[in-house]
Amino acid sequence: MPKKKPYISVIIPVYHDWESLDRALDALDRQTWPKNRFEIIVVNNDPMDDFPAKYPNQNLRMACEEKAGSYAARNKGIRISRGDILGFCDADCIPCPCWIEKAVRFLSNNPGYSRVAGKIELVYGDSEKCSYAELYESIFAFRQAWYAKNGTSTTANMFVQRDIFDDVGMFNEGLLSGGDLEWGQRALKAGYPIGYSKNALVRHPARKNIRELTEKAKRVCSGYILINQADIIENPLNALYHGFSMIKPPIEAGRMIFARKDIPMQDRIILYLLEYLLKIVQFKEYIRCQMKRSN
């Protein structure tokens, strides 16, 4: 008798981005994995914003989460899910047709791994002429192979055996950024390694302009502060160390930028200056948060 395929829960948080969600759900409707062996859970992170009256997918479930933040929304999805394996992606991701199948096959063929980080391929507005923000993203965004090598993954493309959450706990809902990486480190310390699959692919739009990059830099900084809060509060010298480490010359980032021989040298110099600008943005956000806390 053939072995029964595992049941999969795909969890997607959404915040007003219904147009992108349409494309994600269309892609999930074309999955090669049997429809009766997976469910899609969309968690609306603004209950005041009603779900559009469509989405006829037979395996789609909808929920709301009042607490702000995508990690709170993902936790809501985890709590109501029924899957043996939980898959995570974002509302603006486009999973390839064999996304679920390839992730499940990876876990089945590699029993030493209980988590898998899938490849995230960036999509550009105009592939012939990328903006500086898009070029920057092409170097630094969604480095899933590197993340997996370091024990973690972004939730834009991750599959996890369900019982790991019972042991490790849920995502940290206090974090607006970095909660996926923080949870991944907890899972690694608890003895759950992660592999990388280039075949479990989703596509994700690159950030198009500097404003979007600076907004992300601020979110990353706020997540960094919360993760390192105890160390920062414990000793003023630690607070200074964390702050000034943000504005030290970005040596490793510089290596990554100037290694890209496909980008003209003038553009690589501009990208390096952009990297330093974003570090200054984070430093200013760090100072703002520290002053707010001291008041």
Q: Is 196 a residue whose pLDDT tops 80?
A: yes
Q: Which residues pair with 272 in a beta bridge?
A: none
pLDDT greater at residue 244 or residue 169: 169
**Structure confidence at residue 58 (pLDDT):** 67
Written as one letter, the residue type at 129 is: K
Instruction: Mean pLDDT check: name the lowest of 33-47, 151-165, 240-254, 261-275.
Output: 240-254
pLDDT, tens digit, 9 for 90 and up, residues 9-50: 999 999 888 888 999 999 999 999 999 999 999 999 987 777
Q: Quick one: average pLDDT of 65-75? A: 92
**Structure confidence at residue 236 (pLDDT):** 64
Q: Given pLDDT bands bounded at 50, 70 and 90, which one contains residue 284? A: confident
Q: Given pLDDT bands bounded at 50, 70 and 90, which one contains residue 57? A: low
CA distances 269 to 128, 206, 247, 264, Å, are 20, 20, 18, 9
Domains and CATH numbers, the chain: 8-205 (3.90.550.10), 210-294 (no CATH)
Phi, psi of 168 (to 5 degrees): -85, -30
Going by C-alpha positions, the residue among 92, 71, 117, 77 that lies closest to residue 18 is: 92
Q: Please answer whether residues 149 and 230 qualify as being in contact, where contact means their C-beta atoms are separated by less than 8 angstroms.
A: no
Angle between helices 132-140 and 210-227 in degrees, nearest 10 = 40
pLDDT, tens digit, 9 for 90 and up, residues 179-189: 898 999 999 99
Q: Is 175 a residue whose pLDDT tops 60?
A: yes
Q: Is 176 a residue whose pLDDT tops 90?
A: no
% of the chain at pLDDT higher than 70: 88
Cα–Cα distance measured from residue 69 to residue 80, given in angstroms and rounded to the nearest whole number: 18
**Structure confidence at residue 151 (pLDDT):** 94
Structure tokens at 76: 């809501």
**Structure confidence at residue 40 (pLDDT):** 96
Q: Is 127 a residue whose pLDDT tops 70?
A: no
Q: Is 258 a residue whose pLDDT tops 90?
A: yes
Q: Given pLDDT bands bounded at 50, 70 and 90, which one contains residue 228? A: low
**Structure confidence at residue 210 (pLDDT):** 92
DSSP readout, the chain? Answer: -PPPPPPEEEEEEESS-HHHHHHHHHHHHT-SS-GGGEEEEEEES-TTSPPPS----TTEEEEE--SSSHHHHHHHHHHH---SEEEEE-TT-EE-TTHHHHHHHHHHH-TT-SEEEEEEEEE-S-TTS--HHHHHHHHHS--HHHHHHTT---TTEEEEETHHHHHH----TT-SSSHHHHHHHHHHHTT--EEEEEEEEEEEEPP-SHHHHHHHHHHHHHHHHHHTHHHHHH-HHHHHHHHHHTTS--HHHHHHHHT-TTS-HHHHHHHHHHHHHHHHHHHHHHHHHHHHHH-
Report the mean per-residue pLDDT for the chain: 88
**Structure confidence at residue 179 (pLDDT):** 87
Structure tokens at 292: 């707010």
